[in-house]
Chains A and B, each alone.
Chain A
């Protein structure tokens, strides 16, 4: 084939070169992607296996389900238990969690191979070779489809091995995989609009958050028709192990396909490197605040901080708004009323729900903290840090700016969540002045653990800069320990690994100060190690 023919090939076949791109992506992700898929499958298998040991009989599971369906806090996070078979209880426990993880996996994957490539300029090399315009997003979506298919297949094989039946496992696996594909399509779209990979990731992850809130409101607030408007609700509506409604899978499949078509079309019509949003011009001179490392850190972090704070405020409001209905939804039978009274009455249920929501806030704020801390690493490896550090700026002062943004920023983000919850719950309870300070404090109670997460990310940055993604892995482990640990009755020593385990469950429980003190001290120690390590090590550019 001569060169002329190859050129014609590329212009006429918009998907030319896709196979090579898929191979490249699989090669680059040969560790991260199998790890994600493995974790998702392992969650399903180990949950099924553990629940079989904990609730071996139909009767024990029925009792377990009755209590769960009476407590709004678990319904808000996981939805109601619809089937008391072993598979049903397992599916209830992991469906939403696995769907969210599959969504995040797919988003990070697609953005990594589309906008991030374009932003770093690597795609210029590819764009100059016979690669069709639509091939880049299409290849990323292809890899996402492969990964989600592996998850679906893995779950439908692994759950029967743990003792669940196959049909339900297949339904659950397909529901989770289809949800991942939907968010892969969404990420391909946000990658066309945003100019940075961070922007594309943030927009798609914010959508996951909004869809989660809609789902939580639908389940806990008793508006189940709302489930049809959120991909995370479709996972529930498939009804693995109960109704097994296969046709519901058509919703995420159609959504993913539609989003993929729009995204690849957009990729074909816009310029390389350009987003469909964002301006090229700005002020000619710097404002007075942009005069040193702290001013720059504020400038770099303020946009993300504003976005996260608004997200937490809205999320908090949604959570607070349905708090009053908790426990009133399904507790019609006298048996359940009795159970609820034993747990501490309606107020205790509402508090447990709010405390569980604060736990979720803490983990999500942990994601903000890791992202903000690792911005220092991004500044370093891109070479922007050396422009400042070749000026009269000390290492510690420079790094401290980013750490402060992570630590103070996560407190602000948590407070925004507490404020939203307090306002919404207070308005419905006619007690705004009482609920706002109560829930802002409850949200801030998560901060010591978030600070440990931020300090851990900082320590990796200071001591092992090439290993900073481990911070995300650690946060995922903390998430899984917190979400699965209590149901699987994991050993307390294992649970204690997560800083979030040590937090007081407020509102509801009494404040316990010693663990808070320990967490803050741990964070301080890690931070000192981080700054000292960064002061001593070589700048690591690439």
Chain B
């Protein structure tokens, strides 16, 4: 088999007692790609990652990690990857420096200058004992250990939730550098600007299932554009009716100001209706990532979605 994808998951299932954590999840991450892994709290991101790491056993579906079985071949696979959990706990009586060295040596060690460079970039005091670190500093310890080894695959589970904006910038640089040298990165994150800046492609999951996957441009295409127009006249004849007929959402008309949201396929008709009514000023804004994700996250059972309820209101 020639160079399989870094991560191939199809129909993955996992339950804890009666709770169904994963329910037919699919995920494909190509080699050398930085892949965003998104979903609301409790969607199953960490469970998926722990299955990829062989810490949990899958109940069904197929999982291939770097072309191998993550449960059976755990030890040999782990030599080629590094993992940073979202909630890092350290040994209370080991210093940060000792923990970094320990984790590095497990994977065969790393160059000392690389380690020291990362420690200074992340501004970590490696002499402190594990119990004395804040959440962010504990995360730095795990991040330094992960980046110092220059592994083939980085699995990062909300790795920056405790970092300040300066350190977050250092983290983004490190991911970009890893990307440049050809490493694959799976990044689970809630920080959308981070995802937008770093990720080539994203997968969005909800209640244990993949809702959508693709590049951000592709996903954006599916969401609505927000349009605000100042018309030449107040209360233009029939503009409301024409816009509704074009299929807009959340329409408000106050005097000469018209606000609405339009699906990509309705854009042309909306613009024609507005120009016919006479436009003095027009702004159109593509969907923000927040809107994109809220659309995916919020949808409940089919037919009674929250966004549809919002559109009616």
Given A283-B95, A394-B74, check contact A389 B55 (CB 8 Å): yes
Residues on the B chain within 8 Å of A195, using CB: 92, 131
- Chain B, residues 125-165, CB within 8 Å of chain A (1/0): the string is 01111011000000000100000000000010000000000
The distance in angstroms between the C-alpha atoms of A272 and B39, with both chains bound, is 35
Whether the pair B129, A280 counts as a contact (CB closer than 8 A) is yes
Residues on the A chain within 8 Å of B277, using CB: none
B75 interfacial contact with A, CB 8 Å: yes
Residues on the B chain within 8 Å of A31, using CB: none
Whether the pair A300, B91 counts as a contact (CB closer than 8 A) is yes
Whether the pair B129, A539 counts as a contact (CB closer than 8 A) is no
Given A285-B97, A392-B78, A392-B106, check contact A384 B128 (CB 8 Å): no
Given A281-B129, A292-B106, A296-B102, check contact A394 B142 (CB 8 Å): no
Whether the pair A387, B142 counts as a contact (CB closer than 8 A) is yes
Given A283-B97, A391-B106, A393-B75, check contact A383 B128 (CB 8 Å): no
Given A195-B92, A284-B127, check contact A392 B75 (CB 8 Å): yes
The distance in angstroms between the C-alpha atoms of A449 and B65, with both chains bound, is 44
Given A390-B53, A390-B55, A538-B56, check contact A282 B98 (CB 8 Å): yes
8 additional contacts (CB under 8 A) given A386-B85, A388-B103? A283-B127, A284-B97, A303-B93, A387-B89, A389-B54, A390-B81, A392-B79, A539-B56
Residues on B lying within 8 angstroms of A by beta carbon are 50, 53-57, 74-76, 78-79, 81-83, 85, 87-95, 97-98, 100-103, 105-107, 126-129, 131-132, 142, 155
A332 interfacial contact with B, CB 8 Å: no
Q: Which of A286, A300, A384, A391 has its CB near the most chain B CB atoms (within 10 A)?
A: A391
B251 to chain A, nearest CB (A): 42
The distance in angstroms between the C-alpha atoms of A195 and B95, with both chains bound, is 15
Given A384-B91, A538-B56, check contact A291 B128 (CB 8 Å): no
B138 to chain A, nearest CB (A): 10
B41 to chain A, nearest CB (A): 16
Residues on the A chain within 8 Å of B87, using CB: 383
Main secondary structure of the interface of B (DSSP, over half): mixed
- Chain A, residues 292-328, CB within 8 Å of chain B (1/0): the string is 1101100110010000000000000000000000000
Residues on the A chain within 8 Å of B131, using CB: 195, 273
Whether the pair A386, B128 counts as a contact (CB closer than 8 A) is no
Would you list which residues of chain A between 373 and 428 have a CB under 8 Å from chain B? Answer: 382-384, 386-395
Whether the pair A539, B127 counts as a contact (CB closer than 8 A) is no
Residues on the A chain within 8 Å of B88, using CB: 383, 387
Residue of A nearest to B90 (CB): A384
The distance in angstroms between the C-alpha atoms of A269 and B98, with both chains bound, is 32
The distance in angstroms between the C-alpha atoms of A196 and B93, with both chains bound, is 10
- Chain A, residues 8-31, CB within 8 Å of chain B (1/0): the string is 000000000000000000000000
18 interchain pairs, CB-CB under 8 A: A273-B131, A281-B127, A282-B129, A286-B100, A286-B105, A290-B94, A290-B101, A382-B89, A384-B90, A386-B53, A390-B78, A390-B81, A391-B78, A391-B103, A391-B106, A392-B76, A392-B79, A395-B74
Residues on the A chain within 8 Å of B127, using CB: 281-284
A491 interfacial contact with B, CB 8 Å: no
Residue of B nearest to A300 (CB): B91
Whether the pair A286, B85 counts as a contact (CB closer than 8 A) is no
- The 8 A-B pairs with the shortest beta carbon distances in the complex, nearest first, are A286-B101, A390-B83, A391-B106, A282-B95, A286-B98, A539-B55, A392-B79, A392-B78
Whether the pair A392, B107 counts as a contact (CB closer than 8 A) is yes
Residues on the B chain within 8 Å of A538, using CB: 55-57
Residue of A nearest to B56 (CB): A538
Residue of B nearest to A536 (CB): B57
The distance in angstroms between the C-alpha atoms of A300 and B88, with both chains bound, is 18
Whether the pair A286, B78 counts as a contact (CB closer than 8 A) is no
The distance in angstroms between the C-alpha atoms of A115 and B105, with both chains bound, is 33
A230 to chain B, nearest CB (A): 32
Residues on the A chain within 8 Å of B90, using CB: 384
Of A280, A285, A391, the residue contacting B132 (CB under 8 A) is A280
- Chain A, residues 67-109, CB within 8 Å of chain B (1/0): the string is 0000000000000000000000000000000000000000000
The distance in angstroms between the C-alpha atoms of A63 and B129, with both chains bound, is 61
The distance in angstroms between the C-alpha atoms of A531 and B301, with both chains bound, is 43
A279 interfacial contact with B, CB 8 Å: yes
Of A279, A285, A290, A386, the residue contacting B55 (CB under 8 A) is A386
- Chain A, residues 525-542, CB within 8 Å of chain B (1/0): the string is 000000000001111000
A199 to chain B, nearest CB (A): 10
Whether the pair B97, A383 counts as a contact (CB closer than 8 A) is no
The distance in angstroms between the C-alpha atoms of A285 and B94, with both chains bound, is 10
Whether the pair A394, B106 counts as a contact (CB closer than 8 A) is no
The distance in angstroms between the C-alpha atoms of A538 and B51, with both chains bound, is 9
Residues on the B chain within 8 Å of A536, using CB: 57
- Chain A, residues 506-519, CB within 8 Å of chain B (1/0): the string is 00000000000000
Residue of B nearest to A381 (CB): B89
Given A285-B97, A291-B102, A383-B89, check contact A391 B55 (CB 8 Å): no
B2 to chain A, nearest CB (A): 25
The distance in angstroms between the C-alpha atoms of A281 and B57, with both chains bound, is 39
Whether the pair A285, B98 counts as a contact (CB closer than 8 A) is yes
Whether the pair A384, B89 counts as a contact (CB closer than 8 A) is yes
Whether the pair A299, B94 counts as a contact (CB closer than 8 A) is yes
Of B85, B106, B126, B128, the residue contacting A280 (CB under 8 A) is B128
Residues on the B chain within 8 Å of A292, using CB: 105-106
Residues on the B chain within 8 Å of A391, using CB: 78, 103, 106-107
Residue of A nearest to B155 (CB): A390
Residues on the A chain within 8 Å of B53, using CB: 386, 389-390
- Chain A, residues 207-228, CB within 8 Å of chain B (1/0): the string is 0000000000000000000000
Given A280-B129, A390-B53, check contact A290 B102 (CB 8 Å): yes
The distance in angstroms between the C-alpha atoms of A293 and B127, with both chains bound, is 21
A97 to chain B, nearest CB (A): 34
The distance in angstroms between the C-alpha atoms of A285 and B104, with both chains bound, is 12
Q: Which of A284, A300, A382 has its CB near the most chain B CB atoms (within 10 A)?
A: A284
The distance in angstroms between the C-alpha atoms of A195 and B129, with both chains bound, is 12
Residues on the B chain within 8 Å of A393, using CB: 75, 78, 106
Residues on the B chain within 8 Å of A290, using CB: 94, 98, 101-102, 105
